[in-house]
Amino acid sequence: MMVILVQTGLKKVVTRKKSENLDQTEWKELDEKALTAIQLCLANKVLHEVLMKKSSSALWKWLETLYAIKSLATYLVLKQRLFTFRMNEGELIRDHISQFITLLNNLKNVEVKIDDEDQAMLLLYSLPSSYKSFKETFE
């Protein structure tokens, strides 16, 4: 995401306070561009959580807190998401597995390792009841 901000010249808006070289209108316009650039990169689940953020720097700080900082709170939020992760009826299995892998990668980024057996169990139990007979095969 930062790559896009750098490429579009919007990194300064996210990482610094208002530039003295720009007037208020120009700065606000750049901030809106940076905010929307970040929002366009977010998954729908995350986007719903951040719509209340009104500036690019506030949004960026929130995302860093949630995803980049290796704190106890981040660890707990990510683990909760993994353990409560469920597939919706009608969702494609490939999309579900992709989201599951993303959750595992987010945990890996904060140095949490879930062993293969636990990953398999969590994935199986995340499937809807229509897959119940499939799950019972492995129990």
- Residue that the structure tokens 């750098």 belong to: 6
Do 114 and 58 belong together in one domain? no
Cα(52)–Cα(50) distance, integer angstroms? 5
User: What pLDDT is stored for residue 17 in this prediction?
Assistant: 66
Of 22, 50, 68, which residue is a domain's last? 68
The total of structural domains in the chain comes to: 2
Q: Between 136 and 105, where is the model more confident? A: 105
Do 51 and 76 belong together in one domain? no
**pLDDT tens digit string along 67-105?**
666 677 778 888 999 999 999 888 899 999 999 999 998
Other residues' Cβ atoms within 10 Å of the Cβ of residue 60: 22
Q: Are 74 and 65 in contact (CB under 8 A)?
A: yes
Do 18 and 61 belong together in one domain? yes
Do 86 and 57 belong together in one domain? no
User: What pLDDT is stored for residue 138 in this prediction?
Assistant: 54
Do 53 and 94 belong together in one domain? no
Token reading at 114? 């879930």
Token reading at 109? 């980024």
The angle subtended at Cα 59 by Cα 37 and Cα 102, nearest 5°, is 75
Do 10 and 60 belong together in one domain? yes
**pLDDT tens digit string along 24-71?**
888 889 889 999 898 888 888 888 878 888 888 888 888 877 766 667
Do 130 and 117 belong together in one domain? yes
Cα(66)–Cα(85) distance, integer angstroms? 17
Do 11 and 52 belong together in one domain? yes
3-state helix, strand, coil in the chain (%, to 5): 70, 0, 30
Q: Are 48 and 57 in contact (CB under 8 A)?
A: no
Do 48 and 22 belong together in one domain? yes
DSSP 70: -
User: What pLDDT is stored for residue 69 in this prediction?
Assistant: 63
Do 64 and 77 belong together in one domain? no
Q: What is the pTM of this model?
A: 0.49
Q: Which residue type sits at 138?
A: F
Do 45 and 79 belong together in one domain? no
Do 86 and 58 belong together in one domain? no
Domain with 23, as residue range(s), is: 2-68
